[in-house]
Amino acid sequence: MPEATTATAHSETAPTIEGCDVFVIGGGPAGATIAALLAQQGRDVVLVDKEHHPRFHIGESLLPANVELFRKLGVLDQINAIGMEKWGIEFVSLEHEHRSYVEFGDAWDKSMPMAWQVRRSEMDEVLFRNAATRGARTFEGCKVRDVQFEENGAIVQAQLQDGTSRTWHARFVVDASGRDTLLANKFKSKKKNPRHNSTAVFAHFRGARRLEGKKEGNVSICWFPHGWIWFIPLADGTTSVGAVCWPYYLKSRTKPMKEFFFDTMAMAPELADRLKNAELVDDAVHATGNFAYDGTHATGDRYLMLGDAFSFVDPMFSTGVLLAMHNAFDGAELIAAALDQPARYPQARRDYEAMVRKAPREYTWFIYRATNPTIRDMFMNQNNIMRIKEAVLSLLAGDVYGKTPFWWGLRRFKVVYYLISWFNPRRTWRGWRRHHVAIRDMGKLQGETIQTEG
């Protein structure tokens, strides 16, 4: 009898461990996409998000290459219903009297002419619910506290908002926790990008003046003395506006965030004019630091770090959602190899690691030079000689994983850039020196998230 009593007491206190094939941490575009794809493979998938959908997220501008991914996931009509059609990009420079416009339909591949601007709370919920429809077990308000890897999988410990603890044993773990970078922090694999260092301050407005006609949904990119500003129209009439700036500029703030934000907008007269009759939504301005980072690796024997959980680059070309979703498609195939063909997994890992760095490498070449006067002049005064404009538009459309033969055109663009720089040595030196000084480490600002202020 005492032995039976002891066994009963132990069973009441021991945590119940649930099983699954794949445990996905994070219900954003990366996590929801890979969960849907793995569930469609017939796998037992658990997808958790620490918040409840819909929830706020920045990053509202999509690329034409996203369209086919939405189609494959079966959510194209839903995204179209919530999105603002985006046919191109407007560039605004204080050093030029004119504004420059490009359309995705003029890229090398003419079959990807448009994308959307979306409110991320709506888009992310569409993708999260789609994962559940495809068969994933979804949990909201569920925060992962710890992941411990074993020989045959991992033990994942999580906590619900009511304080209830849950424990799963998974054969494979996907970290799509975004900038929380759960596993990267655990493995100390997250590294600050030494070549680019930026912060952002942003808000949403009602009643902002937009471009007219087909250009109404264009994203506008405006250079200003301390970085660049985005202007993103959304379908519900609101507009997302934000400045990506060098850390020293945000660190110099001596007034409330709202005043600082409007002072920043005043440095770009064209965008300030568009906001002069607009109303600030919720009277709130947000800011964040530590914008760019990389991971030393994206995969392990029983895990995959996906999307922003692996790396994050400056959002100038709106690549975040595309990279997250595309890598999720490739990641689903990688996990299939890990679970079904373990002998093939080491090579599949090497291939994936090479692939996941390809697009960021191409985009960051431009991002590192985005505020350089030579690049600014080339964007403001477009020339399609040797098809270099079509090549750059292909990159801006997100056509980095397809078979479109635009890479030679992109190399020719870079050659032209270097030639112009060579023949303007004084300007080139000043631009390089300014960038070098601008990206300097500001100490405490790194890793800091500045709280929202009204």
Distance, CA of 256 to CA of 238 (rounded, Å) = 23
Integer Cα distance of 100 and 83 in angstroms: 24
**Amino acid in the structure at residue 127:** L
Nearest residue to 156 via CA among 179, 131, 139: 139
267 CA to centre of own chain:
26
Select from 254, 222, 245, 2 the least CA-distant residue to 92.
222
- Measured in degrees and rounded to the nearest 5, phi and psi for residue 269 equal -55, -40
Instruction: Report the Cα 2 to chain-centroid distance in Å.
Output: 58
Q: What angle (nearest 5°) sits at the alpha carbon of residue 231, between those of residues 129 and 368?
A: 95
Task: Supply 111's token pair.
Answer: 């079959």
Contact 140, 134 (CB under 8 A): no
Cis upstream peptide for 373 (omega within 30°): no
Beta bridge partners, 206, equal 238, 279
DSSP 280-341: EGGG-BEEE----EEES-SB-SSEEE-GGGT-B--GGG--HHHHHHHHHHHHHHHHHHHHH-
Q: How much is the pLDDT for 86?
A: 98
Contact 291, 449 (CB under 8 A): no
Torsion, CA 263, CA 269, CA 272, CA 273, rounded to 10: 150
Structure tokens at 146: 């710890």
Instruction: Tell me if 25 sits within 8 A of 177, measured CB to CB.
Output: yes
3 by DSSP, 3-state: which? helix
How many C-beta atoms surround the C-beta of residue 433 within 10 A? 10
162 contacts 139 by C-beta, under 8 angstroms: no
What gap in Å lies between CA 146 and CA 267, rounded to an integer? 45
Structure tokens at 377: 């002049």
Q: Can you list the domains of the chain with their CATH numbers? A: 13-61+118-191+292-359 (3.50.50.60), 84-117+197-289+369-454 (3.30.9.100)
Per-residue pLDDT of the chain (454 residues; tens, 9 = 90+): 333 333 333 344 556 999 999 999 999 999 999 999 999 999 999 999 999 999 999 899 999 999 999 999 999 999 999 999 999 999 999 999 999 999 999 999 999 999 999 999 999 999 999 999 999 999 999 999 999 999 899 999 999 999 999 999 999 999 999 999 999 999 999 988 777 778 899 999 999 999 999 999 999 999 999 999 999 999 999 999 999 988 888 888 999 999 999 999 999 999 999 999 999 999 999 988 766 888 999 999 999 999 999 999 888 889 999 999 999 999 999 999 999 999 999 999 999 999 999 999 999 999 888 888 899 999 999 889 999 999 999 999 999 998 899 999 999 999 999 999 999 999 888 888 877 777 776 554 333 333 333 3
In Å, the largest CA–CA distance within the chain is 92
Torsion angle defined by CA atoms of residues 13, 172, 43 and 337, in that order, rounded to the nearest 10 degrees:
-160
